[in-house]
Amino acid sequence: MVTASTKSSTISPISGELDFITFLIDYVVNTNPGDLQTNLEHLSKYMLDKMDPLDSRNIYRKAYGNLKECVTKGKAIMAVFQLDGTCFKFQKPAQVEAAYGAGLIQEIAWQKYLEGRKSYLTKHLTLARDYKMNVCKNCDMKYYVAGNRAGACSSDQGLHDPSYDFTKDPDNVLNCKI
């Protein structure tokens, strides 16, 4: 785990960007903790309908004209999040951790992200266990255990290598990492 003392950055957030990232993390985790994503339209509607127009985060967004421009122009924001069409979601966990290590995520937002990540993993690993699936250590792909055959894994053309052993703790999937 990255600690606050190891933070260094090649991306320098602009004024207000760290607070905006904290807001974005809080919004995504609170509104969709099981999937950790939202639609830009929902986020924009929330900002317009529920936030004071003079809120510093709304003013930060308005400086770019619209929310899409705001998030795509923010180098620090895009180190934490990605935009897939209008789906706004976190980068891969290792990239989010690197952004935290680089000082692009405030401590309170990091703790919120970890809370959301735990909810996400609990949901998705429970589904994987219940549907007899696993996650490959090599290619990070979910796969059906019964369908694991030679050449299935794209990383080395072999079998998928399971990341979890759901027999380790049938009551808590978070304790099943191999």
- Tens of pLDDT, residue by residue over 33-68, are 999 999 999 999 999 999 999 999 999 999 999 999
Q: Environment class of residue 11 by beta-carbon count within 10 Å: exposed (0-12), middle (13-18) or buried (19+)?
A: middle
* Residue 3, domain member (yes or no): no
Q: What is the number of structural domains in the chain?
A: 2
Strands 87-90 and 81-84: antiparallel
Nearest 5°: the CA angle 42, 46, 50 is 165
**Residues 135 and 169 reside in one and the same domain:** yes
**What pLDDT does 4 receive?**
40
**Residues 144 and 98 reside in one and the same domain:** no
More reliable by pLDDT, 35 or 6: 35
**Residues 18 and 60 reside in one and the same domain:** yes
pLDDT tens profile 67-97: 999 999 989 999 999 999 999 999 999 999 9
What's the whole-number mean pLDDT along residues 24-33? 98
113 SS3 class: helix
Distance CA 115, CA 111 (A): 6
Task: Please answer whether residues 145 and 129 qualify as being in contact, where contact means their C-beta atoms are separated by less than 8 angstroms.
Answer: no
**Residues 102 and 138 reside in one and the same domain:** no
Q: What percent of the chain has pLDDT over 90?
A: 86
**What pLDDT does 156 receive?**
72
Sign of the CA dihedral with 83 first, then 85, 87, and 92 last: negative
CB crowding 26-65: b at 16 or more within 10 Å, else e: ebbbeebbeebbbebeebbeebeeeeeeeeebbebbeeee
pLDDT at 6 over 70: no
DSSP state for residue 145 in the 8-state scheme: G
**Residues 99 and 19 reside in one and the same domain:** yes
**What pLDDT does 174 receive?**
97
**Residues 107 and 141 reside in one and the same domain:** no
**Residues 45 and 85 reside in one and the same domain:** yes
Taking alpha carbons only, the member of 128, 109, 106 closest to residue 117 is 109
Distance CA 15, CA 17 (A): 6
**Residues 107 and 147 reside in one and the same domain:** no
pLDDT tens profile 95-129: 999 999 999 999 999 999 999 999 999 999 999 99
Instruction: Report the chain's mean pLDDT, rounded to a whole number.
Output: 92
**What pLDDT does 39 receive?**
97
